[in-house]
Amino acid sequence: MRVLVTGAAGQLGSDLVKRLRETQIETIGADLEDFDITDDKATYNFVGHCRPDMVVHCAAYTKVDQAEEEPDLCGRINVEGTKNLAAACRESGSGLCYISTDYVFDGKTEFPYETDDAPNPVSVYGRSKYQGEQLTVALVPNHYILRTSWVFGKNGHNFVKTMLRLGENNKSLRIVSDQISSPTYTVDLACLITDLIRTGKHGTYHGTNSGFCSWADFAEEIFRQMNWDVAIERIRSSDYPTKAIRPKDSRLSKHSLVQAGLLPLPDWQDGLVRFLKEIKAI
C-alpha cells in the first residue's frame, strides 16, 4: 500500500507519517510547499504523479474563531481544497480518508453521537468540515470519514500547551466547564488511522481517546500530572464569549470502531501522560 498524507508537517500529519513508516507502509508526506490543495491543477498533478492507494487528508483550516472572520479562506481550504483532492482521488482511483471533527454536531444531545446522527454544525469551521465530508462521500466511493475531537500533539498549537504556558505564571485560571468531549492524543489517533485504512471497511467512524471531560476537567488533570498548584475556576461558556459558537456536548460514540473490529484508544488521561513525557514537560 502506498499512502499520501496531506498536512504532513502538522500536528496529526507528522505523527501519522511516522506511524505509517514504522509499520512499513510506503508513505508520501506532503504539505503546502509540495502542492496547494486549493489549486485544482496542482492537486491533480501531484496525486496523479504519486498514484497513492490511499490519501489521508489531514490538511485543514482549523482556526475556529478566526474562521468567523475569514469564512472565504476557511471555505477555500476546507471545502474547495477537499473537493479538489477528492476529485483527484477519483481520477487516480485512490481511496480517501478525510479527517473531520466533532464540530459537525450542534452539541444539543443527551448521549454520545453515533456516526449516523444528523450533523448540524453551528460555526463556519464546523460547516466547512461537514461540507468536506459530503464532498468526500459524493466523489470517492472507497472513502473513510473519521471524526475526532480536542486533538493535542507535539507539532502544533493545542490546549495542553496553552495551559502549560499560562500555568507557569498564574496561580489560578478561569476555564469553561460546560463543554464536554474527548481529548485525543495524535500519536494514538495516528495508530488508529493506520489500522483503519488497512481494514477495507469504508464508511464513517468516530475516533478519539476513551473517556469524556470538560475543558476545566482537562486543565485540572494537566496540572495534577505536572504537580503544579494552579486553581481552576469553573465558568460557563457564556462567561467566556468567543467569536465561534462551540457545541456544548460533542461526545462521540466509538461503537463504529468496535463494529469494525478495532480496539478503543486508551483513556485520554493516559494519552496526556505520554504526551507530557514526549515534550519533556514531566
Spatial contact of 137 and 143, defined as CB atoms under 8 Å apart: yes
Residues with Cβ within 8 Å of 17's Cβ and at least 6 positions away in sequence, in order, are 5, 8, 27, 29
Amino acid at 168: E
> Of 98, 113, 125, 144, which is the active-site residue?
125
- Look at the block and give the residue holding cell 478519539: 208
Residue 103 among the catalytic residues:
no
Looking only at the bridges linking them, the beta strands covering 180-181 and 213-214 are: antiparallel
Catalytic residues: 125
